[in-house]
Amino acid sequence: MADFGLHTYQQEVVERALKGENIIIWLPTGGGKTRAAVYVAKKHLETTPNAKVMVLVNKVHLVDQHYNKEFEPYLGHTFIIKKVSGENKEKDFFGLVVQQSQVVICTAQILYNALINKEEARHVELSDITLLIIDECHHTQKEEVYNKVMRLYVEKKLKGEKPLPQILGLTASPGTGGAKTLDKAVEHVLEICANLDSAIVSAKEYASELKEVVPRPRKIFKIVKERIKDPFGDHLISMMNTIHSRMGLPPDFRLKECGTQEYEADVVNLEQRGVQEKNRPLAQCALHLRQYNDALLINDTLRMIDAYRSLEEYYSKKRTNPIDETDTFLLELFEENQVELRNLAMDSRFENPKMDELQSTLLEQFRSGVPSRAIIFSKTRKSIHCLKDWVLTNRALQEAGIKADILTGAGNGITYMTQNEQAEIIKNFRMGSLNLLISTSVAEEGLDIPECNLVVRYGLLTNEIAQQQASGRARARNAQYAFVAQAGGREDRRERINEYLEELTGQAIGRVQTMTPQEFCSKITQLQEMAVTCTKIELKRQAEKRSRNTASSFQLSCRGCFTPVASGSDIKLVENMYINVNPAFKNHYNVGDKPTLERSFKDWEPGCKISCKKCNKKWGNEIKYMKCAIMPNLAIKNFALGSPGQEWPPVKKWKDVPFTVEDFNFKEYCQENNPDLLD
């Protein structure tokens, strides 16, 4: 193991995997889980006939990272290694790639698609794989794609079908799954083990070495007092109360306190109720109240001007096409109060004390004389953009030599980053041209971030897993993990709960590890049988629900204005997209700009964004299929469902609609709409 530079504690945790057992490696962030997995993969390839190693990750950027940083440098000179993600064309003939490779690194979705796709060039069997490595394996639960892959594995295992791959899971923390007691936390850990068909191992004999190699940062609570006065926030609440009195709240509904997550959940439920009842004033007022509540949450975390700008940006898009008196009332309410809100937001006497504490925390580190790197973790893409603006316009922070930029998740849209942009930011951070990253949760998990002297969690309400992963970024000697919050506030309470849950996780894992092999295996099998049975029952229930309804009996209406625009029978399924094949549908929408995607697709290409002609509600985007047929690809969350005599609650995903969507037949479509395409 010397050529790999494995520490003794790493050798300890891979011992059972080297014997062919299914295990989960539990080591803290920075503990070298991936390097240990590469070593297991190497030994497996050297000792197993016709070995095939599959490495699954849950985020696209980790495909390149694992390939470039770990697997290619250590195994590439001896074995054929391929990386596949939605960003490259190999996904379209994934089955062939697997046949021709010895190690494949890919996103879990690509493997799952290949397991259920019967097309020869794309199909893969679990029996083709001899070692399945699952990164960040605590995500193997509920409807996560990792769990969908492992359900197929467990079903085969329970039927006695062989061969099946050896499983190697990697995690910094399985968490407690929301449990607050030891018994419930043990149940959660056992459920993760059952889902992965694996035992969980950690450093025991060499735990002291692990603590030396991966020291825990010094934790500092930066607690500030509540604002004495908040006239800006008070004015927002008075505007919200005006909307409350206008919207016609259902008599059975009582709203929680404004400016809380609970209030946000309330107005989300009200909007859904308004959609189901086709009550547009209720639905629209609820949508606007959510924006005001977001502004209150921003005001609680960031600057008042950031909260004001969030509302200003929202209403600037609403000025163009109010379609009824509800829209006019909501727009006029903001415009009548806009000047007052702006003046209050600019009054420095009432600024957020948390920002002062954040400033002093950063200055303490960057004025220390020690070359420093730091990360601020915050909740939303909007908040990190606001924090970057604050840092760049703050004279004291600039004079301290702070060079900041943001890091967000990969995706499409103005607030996301491309993979290349992510890589460039991290490279600049490593080289020193940047010394402060302001990041969403993307940097908590998996990304190869250089050692930091300071990690700050700011304005965050997350679970114990995210807290542990964030603190694990403070790896430099004498590093600090700072938590900035209001005394007794929701973030303060959550952070202290997370500390308890972190301890509870360790206790639960310890309890599981002390079970006898017979007791453990019996419990795991019991949980697996229960999970398979529950899945079958749920699938049967969904199928029966759909079979009771015909697609043609459903009507789709715009969620923004409730204009009827399509029949359920107009919707067909192609390439995991839900398209409207009725040519008359184009009369209902406007065409916008065309997004740029880094990746390409075999049979289709993305087209322009589309939105409702009446209210400008975003609906989805057009696609060009087989280089000739232009059709709208719709997101069901943007529509209301109805059928004769019944209104249905809105759904977020097409899989939850109460009717069966048929597969798209390209030949039939051409015959009906454009026979010339078949010539």
pLDDT tens digit sequence for 313-337: 999 988 777 899 999 999 999 999 9
Predicted confidence at residue 444, as pLDDT, reads 61
> 645 or 285: which carries more pLDDT confidence?
285
Q: How far apart are CA 378 and CA 300, in angstroms?
A: 13
Q: How far apart are CA 71 and CA 564, in angstroms?
A: 53
Judged against a pLDDT cut of 80, whether residue 415 lies above it is answered with: no
Region class of 36: left (phi > 0), else alpha (psi between -120 and 50), else beta = alpha
Q: What is the mean pLDDT of the chain?
A: 91
Task: Identify the CA nearest to 198 among candidates 173, 169, 220, 176.
Answer: 169
The arithmetic mean of pLDDT across residues 179-189, rounded, is 96
| Distance set, CA 675 to CA 381, 626, 662, 670 (Å) | 47, 14, 21, 5
Judged against a pLDDT cut of 80, whether residue 260 lies above it is answered with: yes
The pLDDT tens digits of the residues spanning 452-469 come to 889 898 887 666 666 676
Largest CA distance in the chain: 76
Predicted confidence at residue 473, as pLDDT, reads 64
Judged against a pLDDT cut of 60, whether residue 1 lies above it is answered with: no
Q: How far apart are CA 394 and CA 399, in angstroms?
A: 9
Predicted confidence at residue 140, as pLDDT, reads 97
Q: SS3 of 566, please?
A: strand
Judged against a pLDDT cut of 60, whether residue 414 lies above it is answered with: no
The pLDDT tens digits of the residues spanning 606-625 come to 999 999 999 999 999 999 99
Please state the φ and ψ torsions of residue 554, each to the nearest 5 degrees: -105, 145
Of the CA atoms within 13 Å of residue 405, those in its CB half-sphere come to 17
Long-range contacts of 405-409 (CB under 8 A, 24+ apart): 405/429, 405/434, 405/436, 405/437, 405/438, 406/437, 406/438, 406/439, 407/437, 407/438, 407/439, 407/440, 407/442, 407/443, 407/447, 408/381, 408/384, 408/439, 408/440, 408/442, 409/59, 409/440, 409/441, 409/442
Percent of the residues in the chain that have a pLDDT greater than 90, as a whole number = 72
Long-range contacts of 121-128 (CB under 8 A, 24+ apart): 121/92, 121/93, 121/94, 121/95, 121/96, 122/92, 122/93, 122/94, 122/95, 123/95, 124/94, 124/95, 124/98, 126/152, 126/153, 126/156, 126/164, 126/165, 127/162, 127/163, 127/164, 128/52, 128/98, 128/99
The arithmetic mean of pLDDT across residues 381-397, rounded, is 95
Percent of the residues in the chain that have a pLDDT greater than 70, as a whole number = 94
Judged against a pLDDT cut of 50, whether residue 12 lies above it is answered with: yes
Residue 512 neighbours by CB under 8 Å, 6+ apart: 186, 189, 190, 193, 200, 520
Are the CB atoms for 591 and 633 separated by under 8 Å?
Answer: no
The arithmetic mean of pLDDT across residues 261-268, rounded, is 94
> 63 or 415: which carries more pLDDT confidence?
63
* Angle at CA of residue 378, ends 211 and 371, nearest 5°: 55
Sheet hosting strand 23-26, strand order edge to edge: 81-84, 103-107, 53-57, 131-134, 166-171, 23-26, 199-201
Chain-centroid distance of CA 409 in Å reads 9
pLDDT band at 2 (very low <50, low <70, confident <90, very high): very low
Judged against a pLDDT cut of 90, whether residue 476 lies above it is answered with: no
> Beta 604-612 vs 618-625: how paired, if at all?
antiparallel
Handedness of CA 19, 23, 26, 29 (dihedral sign): positive
pLDDT band at 412 (very low <50, low <70, confident <90, very high): low
Q: Bridge partners of 566?
A: 556
Q: Could you count the other beta carbons within 10 Å of the beta carbon of residue 587?
A: 9
Predicted confidence at residue 474, as pLDDT, reads 59
Residue ranges of E strands in 143-201:
166-171, 199-201
The pLDDT tens digits of the residues spanning 564-586 come to 999 999 999 998 899 999 999 99
Predicted confidence at residue 495, as pLDDT, reads 83
The arithmetic mean of pLDDT across residues 258-281, rounded, is 95
The arithmetic mean of pLDDT across residues 149-170, rounded, is 97
* Weakest-pLDDT range from 208-222, 483-497, 653-667: 483-497
Predicted confidence at residue 641, as pLDDT, reads 95
- Give percent helix, percent strand, percent coil of the chain, each to the nearest 5: 50, 15, 35
Region class of 5: left (phi > 0), else alpha (psi between -120 and 50), else beta = left
* Weakest-pLDDT range from 22-36, 79-93, 218-232, 455-469: 455-469
Q: How far apart are CA 73 and CA 88, in angstroms?
A: 21
Judged against a pLDDT cut of 70, whether residue 110 lies above it is answered with: yes
